[in-house]
A = this chain, B = another copy of it.
Amino acid sequence: MNNNNIPKGVISRLPRYYRYLGELLSSGLERVSSNDLSQLMKLSMSQIRQDLHHFGGFGQAGYGYNIIYLYSEIGKILKLDKTHNLVVIGAGNLGQTLTNYATFEQYGFKIIGIFDNNPALDGQDIGNTGLKVQLLDELPDFLNQNDIDIAVLTIPKQGALAIIDILVTHEIKGIWNFAHVDLNLRVPDTIAVENVHLSESLMRLSFRLDD
């Protein structure tokens, strides 16, 4: 199957399907009807049928969906059946928090290095992860010696721009960007960028407050 044929809207909903299906699986259920899934996820039944239709032949009339099959197929599409190595760049509060976040590893995202330019943080232990902060000048060697797919950027904007060249040179595949800058405007198309702008999320909430 060619994943490029799946519409963006469907893709953006896949992680949510994956989460709900995972919970149903944990609860011991083997099959779920589009009706039940519809009520659970507050999506219309036709939306669910359309979405899941893109993966072809999952549903069986009268039987509902096979949860473990659907969960596993969506996992493959999201590439959660592989292990991805990550480095975190920026060992401030946010960088340390993400490094400590055990949930990511359960989906195959393994943080194996954390870097900062602040000498005061050099060698500092990160929670119970077994990782120690390394200085940024060690990053190029680390990228040469390890198979890193994703860089997590949790540094200020100026630092982020300076680091991009290193990541591009070392052919990193993806950047999970928490810096206040739109990196997708500055990196080649071959590098996937996912921006998480927390302030903007808070502003969208603020807009919708009833006051």
Q: Which of A94-133 contact B (CB under 8 A)?
A: 94, 96-98, 100-101, 103-104, 107-109, 127
Q: How far is the CB of A170 from chain B (nearest CB, A)?
A: 15
Q: How far is the CB of A56 from chain B (nearest CB, A)?
A: 18
Complex contact A15–B173 (CB within 8 A): no
| Residues in chain B near residue A96, CB distance under 8 A | 93, 97
Instruction: Knowing A209-B84, A210-B190, A210-B192 are in contact, say whether A202-B173 is a contact too (CB < 8 A).
Output: no
| Residues in chain B near residue A209, CB distance under 8 A | 79, 84, 149-150, 173-174, 192
Instruction: Knowing A209-B174, A209-B192 are in contact, say whether A203-B80 is a contact too (CB < 8 A).
Output: yes
Segment with Cβ contacts to B, from A136-144, A161-169, A193-201: A193-201
Instruction: Knowing A19-B200, A101-B198, A185-B42 are in contact, say whether A205-B190 is a contact too (CB < 8 A).
Output: no
**Complex CA distance for A14 and B122, rounded to whole angstroms:** 39
A: residues with CB less than 8 A from B are 3, 11-12, 14-16, 18-19, 41-42, 77-80, 82, 84, 93-94, 96-98, 100-101, 103-104, 107-109, 127, 149-150, 173-174, 176, 180, 182, 185, 190, 192-194, 196-211
